[in-house]
């Protein structure tokens, strides 16, 4: 069988039109295996953004067991990153790799070339920094490709609005879209979510998320060393720049924000926050080192998200919910580390535990679970589209960040409708394009000034 999704659906129509009713009823109750679009049932995968997570996501894709799958194309803006990723995947998944040199693409237009190697119904992975999500998602929808894209999906109002429209379009086209908010695929968090919905701790009144450790990834940056170009350097150090990632707040804290809101089955209506940079030294990035955001839900209940990047300060990395009848440990450690547990009263310790999650060994990895779910949905044509929810989690996260950076209360609608686009024209970048933010004569970039800049997180065009 060699057919695209359209061919497949016309073939189905043909079958229905020409089959006799008796034949149809003979098939009633028999599970007809879903035929994947690509030839011989193999799902083809392309990887856009071949860094740490991209390599991990491709490895998860190639580890899915329910049918043939292979990586056929890769794209990155740095050849060295692509080569390292290719080498690692080749070492571990050689039998599922088919990426000859002419299907490895370097440059800002590589995403198109990689997606052009796929057929409708195949899967493309987006694991670049978030600034490129809407650009890549637009093309994937045009090509009728299923998508796995990493969190966060947006960092500002204009790209959130654009992505919400694209999410709707992808649903209309019956595309399957997975978003790398893997807490949603943690069996422990699924179990605790179900129990909370069943009333095990009463009504949630307060939740807390903590991600406090030393600086991670590229959160803190010293001056641009002059090469590669300022644009490419900012892309390499994307956690440092709001246009590329939403900064450390969006990139690091979105997981707790997402899964706490999930426990509540709601997104917050507003946020206010405090934050600052205690030890800036020679660093020129746009991040604070400390954030504490108070989110409020429609019913008045609260969620506090504390994030800190500071060596030597108390490290905490876990999340909690307090209800009227008891409390829950959501993520025991890390973004969604198990076990989750339920407790009586207000303390959370072994002595007052009333339930602890139990997860089968082969379902303990939420990164693998999310891929198993996506590929299963593609093969069985089950509804599976996490794009809208992924954008909403990104808006909730940006609200908290903007509240801290401006020193104002920020509502959901204000965040969504904010006109500050961090990376206008990101779809037109070439290797020679100037950076979105230009350093000043001292090599510094504009930073948030809460209370002074009230409507925008940093001064527009300050260095342009
Ligand atoms: N779900 C999770 O737990 C998790 C964990 C890590 C990272 N992530 C997310 O994955 C994304 C990537 O993070 P990472 O840690 O892998 O970063 P990384 O820097 O290791 O990888 C990003 C790659 O994308 C490439 N790239 C950048 N712009 C590109 C473009 N326009 N076209 C093609 N390639 C481009 C870079 O050169 C790099 O190789 C981020 O959004 C991050 O938040 C999620």
Question: pLDDT value at position 31?
Answer: 35
- Asked whether residue 81 is assigned to any structural domain, the reply reads yes
Question: pLDDT value at position 34?
Answer: 42
Q: How far apart are CA 218 and CA 240, in angstroms?
A: 6
* Range(s) of the domain holding residue 373: 37-183+368-384
Residues 6+ apart with CB under 8 A from 399: 268, 270, 271, 295, 410, 411, 412, 414, 415
Average pLDDT over residues 217-225: 97
Q: Residue 260 — very low, low, confident or very high, per pLDDT cuts 50/70/90? A: very high
Sign of the Cα pseudo-torsion (281, 285, 286, 291, in order): negative
For the record, the structure tokens of 431 come out as 């290797």
For the record, the structure tokens of 21 come out as 């009713």
- Asked whether residue 23 is assigned to any structural domain, the reply reads no
- DSSP string of 199-220, one letter each residue: TTT-SEEEEEEEEEES--TTSS
Find out whether the beta carbon of 239 lies less than 6 Å from any atom of ligand 1. no
> What tens digit of pLDDT does each residue of 414-436 get?
999 999 999 999 999 999 999 99
What's the total number of domains in the chain?
Answer: 1
> What tens digit of pLDDT does each residue of 82-127 get?
999 999 999 999 999 999 999 999 999 999 999 999 999 999 999 9
Find out whether the beta carbon of 108 lies less than 6 Å from any atom of ligand 1. yes
Please report, for residues 186, 229, 371, the alpha-carbon distance to residue 63 in angstroms, rounded to integers and kept in the order given. Answer: 17, 36, 9
Question: pLDDT value at position 5?
Answer: 32
Probe target for ligand 1 pocket from 46, 47, 48, 49, with the most ligand atoms within 8 Å of CB: 49
> What tens digit of pLDDT does each residue of 347-364 get?
999 899 999 999 999 999
Asked if residue 442 has pLDDT above 70, the reply is yes
Question: pLDDT value at position 32?
Answer: 35
Question: pLDDT value at position 459?
Answer: 86
User: Residue 170's closest CA among 149, 146, 153, 151?
Assistant: 146
Question: pLDDT value at position 19?
Answer: 34
For the chain, what is the mean pLDDT? 92
Residue 338 per-residue DSSP state: S
- Asked whether residue 49 is assigned to any structural domain, the reply reads yes
Question: pLDDT value at position 30?
Answer: 35
Q: Residue 138 — very low, low, confident or very high, per pLDDT cuts 50/70/90? A: very high
Asked if residue 284 has pLDDT above 90, the reply is yes
- Count of alpha carbons within 13 angstroms of residue 358, beta-carbon side: 1
CA 23 to chain centre: 45
- Distance from the CA of 49 to the center of ligand 1, in angstroms? 6
Find out whether the beta carbon of 410 lies less than 6 Å from any atom of ligand 1. no
Can you tell me which atom of ligand 1 is nearest the CA of 217?
15
Q: Are 125 and 47 in contact (CB under 8 A)?
A: yes
For the record, the structure tokens of 191 come out as 């179990």
Question: pLDDT value at position 461?
Answer: 52
Tell me the CATH number at 165. Answer: 3.40.50.720
Asked if residue 11 has pLDDT above 80, the reply is no
- Asked whether residue 146 is assigned to any structural domain, the reply reads yes
Q: Say if residue 104 is exposed, middle or buried (CB neighbours under 10 Å; 0-12, 13-18, 19+).
A: buried
- Asked whether residue 153 is assigned to any structural domain, the reply reads yes
- Asked whether residue 216 is assigned to any structural domain, the reply reads no
Find out whether the beta carbon of 259 lies less than 6 Å from any atom of ligand 1. no
Residues 6+ apart with CB under 8 A from 295: 257, 268, 270, 271, 302, 303, 304, 305, 396, 399, 400
- Distance from the CA of 128 to the center of ligand 1, in angstroms? 4
Q: How far apart are CA 175 and CA 382, in angstroms?
A: 10
Omega prior to 321 cis, within 30 of 0: no
Question: pLDDT value at position 40?
Answer: 75
Find out whether the beta carbon of 180 lies less than 6 Å from any atom of ligand 1. yes
- Asked whether residue 213 is assigned to any structural domain, the reply reads no
Average pLDDT over residues 10-23: 32
Cβ count near 223 (within 10 Å): 14
Q: Are 328 and 201 in contact (CB under 8 A)?
A: yes
- Asked whether residue 58 is assigned to any structural domain, the reply reads yes
Probe target for ligand 1 pocket from 52, 53, 231, with the most ligand atoms within 8 Å of CB: 53
Probe target for ligand 1 pocket from 54, 84, 105, 129, with the most ligand atoms within 8 Å of CB: 129
> What tens digit of pLDDT does each residue of 288-326 get?
999 999 999 999 999 999 999 999 999 999 999 999 999
Percentage of the chain with pLDDT > 90? 89
Average pLDDT over residues 240-265: 98
């Amino acid at each position: 069988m060699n057919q695209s999704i359209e061919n497949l659906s016309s073939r189905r129509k043909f079958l229905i039109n020409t089959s006799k009713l008796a034949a149809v009823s003979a098939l009633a109750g028999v599970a007809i295996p879903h035929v994947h679009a690509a030839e011989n049932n193999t799902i083809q995968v392309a990887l856009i953004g071949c860094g740490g997570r991209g390599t991990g996501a491709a490895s998860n894709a190639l580890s899915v067991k329910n049918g043939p799958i292979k990586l056929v194309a890769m794209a990155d803006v740095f050849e060295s990153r692509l080569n390292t990723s290719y080498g690692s995947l080749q070492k571990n998944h050689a039998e599922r790799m088919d990426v000859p040199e002419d299907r490895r693409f370097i440059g800002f237009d590589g995403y198109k070339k990689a997606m052009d190697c796929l057929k409708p119904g195949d899967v493309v992975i987006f694991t670049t920094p978030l600034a490129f999500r809407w650009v890549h998602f637009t093309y994937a929808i045009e090509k009728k490709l299923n998508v796995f894209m990493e969190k966060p999906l947006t960092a500002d109002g204009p790209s959130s609005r654009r992505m919400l429209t694209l999410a709707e379009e992808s649903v209309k086209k019956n595309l399957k879209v997975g978003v790398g908010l893997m807490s949603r695929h943690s069996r422990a968090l699924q179990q605790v979510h179900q129990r909370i919905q069943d009333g095990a701790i009463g009504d949630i009144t307060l939740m807390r998320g903590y991600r406090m450790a030393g600086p991670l990834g590229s959160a803190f940056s010293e001056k641009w060393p002059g090469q590669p170009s300022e644009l490419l350097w900012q892309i390499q150090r994307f956690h440092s720049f709001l246009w590329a990632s939403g900064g450390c707040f969006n990139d690091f804290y979105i997981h707790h924000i997402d899964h706490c809101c999930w426990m509540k089955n709601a997104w917050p209506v507003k946020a206010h926050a405090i934050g600052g940079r205690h030890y800036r030294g020679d660093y020129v990035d746009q991040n604070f080192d400390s954030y504490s955001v108070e989110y409020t839900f429609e019913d008045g209940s609260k969620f506090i998200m504390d994030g800190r990047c500071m060596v030597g300060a108390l490290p905490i990395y876990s999340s909690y919910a307090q209800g009227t009848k008891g409390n829950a440990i959501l993520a025991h450690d890390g973004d969604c580390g198990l076990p989750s547990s339920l407790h009586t009263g207000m303390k959370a310790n072994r002595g007052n535990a009333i339930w602890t999650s139990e997860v089968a060994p082969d379902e303990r990895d939420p990164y693998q679970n999310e891929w198993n779910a996506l590929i299963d949905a593609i093969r069985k044509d089950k509804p599976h589209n996490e794009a809208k929810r992924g954008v909403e989690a990104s808006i909730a996260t940006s609200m908290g960040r903007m509240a801290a950076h401006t020193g104002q209360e920020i509502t959901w609608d204000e965040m969504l409708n904010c006109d500050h686009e961090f990376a206008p024209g990101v779809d037109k970048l070439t290797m020679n394009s100037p950076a979105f933010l230009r350093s000043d004569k001292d090599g510094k970039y504009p930073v948030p000034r809460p209370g002074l800049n009230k409507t925008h997180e940093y001064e527009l065009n300050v260095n342009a």
